[in-house]
Amino acid sequence: MRLVLFDIDGTLVPGSSSEARFARYLWDRGALGLRQLLAFAWFCLRYFPRYGRHVMQKNKAYLSGRSKADIAVLARDFVDERLMPALYAPAVERLRAHQAAGDRVALLSGTPQFIADALAVALGVEYSHASLCASKASRYTGAPPVRHPYGPTKIDAAQALAKETDLPLATAVAFGDSITDAYLFRVVEEAVAVQPDKRLSEEAQGAGWEVLLDRMTGTSSQDRGKT
């Protein structure tokens, strides 16, 4: 039995990120108002000096003032209606194979925890570790996330999952799509680059990591103009 870590965006979810899709879902449902849009814009202005080009990844202010319970319900509906039909089939097949083999599968992502939790339930995955959006009492605020697994900080999240599952990270398997996943890849036993970006593809070649490409075209997401 091994710990198996699956990234979400770009790995299980091709193309646009799960969070961007969720924001669009909220808009379509009329669940985003002027308060949320202004909070989102203000976050960009206020925190750009701190986060630079990563400011959009840190910006969860579109949730400002929204009930955590309501967002959790909307996230479950979103995953069922829009995310599950859009998952990358070859990655899901590998996830199912690890489940069938008795491995402990976990979702490890920078997407909000409520999306990761809803997707984990839909996939029958027991563990998930994702971004914790700032909140006060029962509502989200416009502050930066309390936790945001990304790049090297994914190692900390993976170590927490290894402790939770009582399985060593040194024998784990990790699936990811971005060069930022290479930090995690270097500390696990087996790494799988799923439709990797150009830099991860080059890194995978040198490190001998498996590359999982589109079965129909034989191309990676970089070759197909992934956004």
What's the pLDDT tens digit per position in 109-162?
A: 999 999 999 999 999 999 999 999 999 999 999 999 999 999 999 999 999 999
Question: Percent of the chain at pLDDT above 90?
Answer: 90
**Of the candidates 193, 191, 171, 173, which has an alpha carbon nearest to the alpha carbon of residue 88?**
193
Per-residue pLDDT at 106 exceeds 70: yes
Whole-angstrom Cα distance, residue 25 to residue 17? 12
Helix (H, G, I), strand (E, B) or coil at 109: strand
pLDDT of residue 221: 40
Report the CATH architecture of 3-212.
3-Layer(aba) Sandwich (3.40)
User: If residue 107 lies in a helix (H) or strand (E), which one and from where to where?
Assistant: strand 104-112
Which 3 state secondary structure label does DSSP give 99?
Answer: helix
Phi and psi at residue 181, to the nearest 5°: -80, -10
- Lowest average pLDDT, out of 16-25, 194-203, 207-216, goes to 207-216
Residue 78 buriedness (CB in 10 A; 0-12 / 13-18 / 19+): buried
Type and span of the H or E element at 84 = none
Query: With 90 as the cut, is the pLDDT of residue 220 above it?
Result: no
Mean of the pLDDT values across residues 30-55? Answer: 92
Task: Please give the pLDDT value at position 215.
Answer: 54
For range 166-183, the mean pLDDT: 97
